[in-house]
Amino acid sequence: MSLTLAIVGRPNVGKSTLFNRLVGKRLALVDDQPGVTRDLREGAARLGDLRFTVIDTAGLEEATDDSLQGRMRRLTERAVDMADICLFMIDARVGVTPTDEVFAEILRKRSAHVILAANKAEGAAADAGLIEAYALGLGEPVRLSAEHGEGLNELYEQLMPIA
């Protein structure tokens, strides 16, 4: 059975950018059920010699009457329950926000394996955010730049022993 990795985190940290990088043109298995396609995207991912299914939690970016916190929690819990591993992404340039703390709490309670990734980490502007990321208590953050394709080796190193 194939391993499933869910990418979770607040809007705009770079989740979809990483999803697209891992999946490339192999976007597949899009569920046609109403609500599912929009909120969770699933694709066949490749990283080095690892093959796995990746889930992108989308749908948080859209404004609705429903509160972001509530949607975030439900969507994240759904993704976490579908996944073997969660990649929790923060924005290294922003550092750890109160919303990130909410995610960390959900993951600590609910997910067996969490990989912490501090994205947008290209350049020195990310150093303070990386130090903050350690304080989340979710292990050593992967220093990632999804946009520039940096840190994928580090991601591989953390993924490989679990996968």
* Least distance CB 58 / Mg ion (angstroms): 5
How far apart, in whole angstroms, are the C-alpha atoms of residue 99 and residue 137?
A: 15
* Least distance CB 65 / ligand GDP (angstroms): 20
How many residues in the chain? 163
∠ Cα 89 90 91 (to 5°) = 130
Backbone angles phi, psi at 114, to 5 degrees: -125, 130
Q: How far is CA 41 from CA 38, 44, 95, 105, 118, in A?
A: 7, 10, 26, 23, 21
* Least distance CB 89 / ligand GDP (angstroms): 7
* Least distance CB 16 / ligand GDP (angstroms): 3
152: closest CA among 38, 18, 39?
Answer: 18
Helix axes 98-110, 68-82, angle to 10 degrees: 30
Annotated binding-site members for GTP: 9-16, 56-60, 119-122
Q: Which residue lies nearer to Mg ion by CB, 89 or 107?
A: 89
57: closest CA among 5, 111, 98?
Answer: 5
Residues lying near ligand GDP in the complex (CB under 6 A) are found at 11-17, 61, 119-120, 122, 145-148
Q: Which residue lies nearer to ligand GDP by CB, 59 or 158?
A: 59
Q: Which residue lies nearer to ligand GDP by CB, 101 or 147?
A: 147
**Which of Mg ion, ligand GDP, none has residue 119 at its interface (CB below 5 to 8 Å by kind)?**
ligand GDP
Q: Which residue lies nearer to Mg ion by CB, 61 or 105?
A: 61
Residues lying near Mg ion in the complex (CB under 5 A) are found at 15-16, 58
Select the residue whose beta carbon is closest to Mg ion and give its number.
16
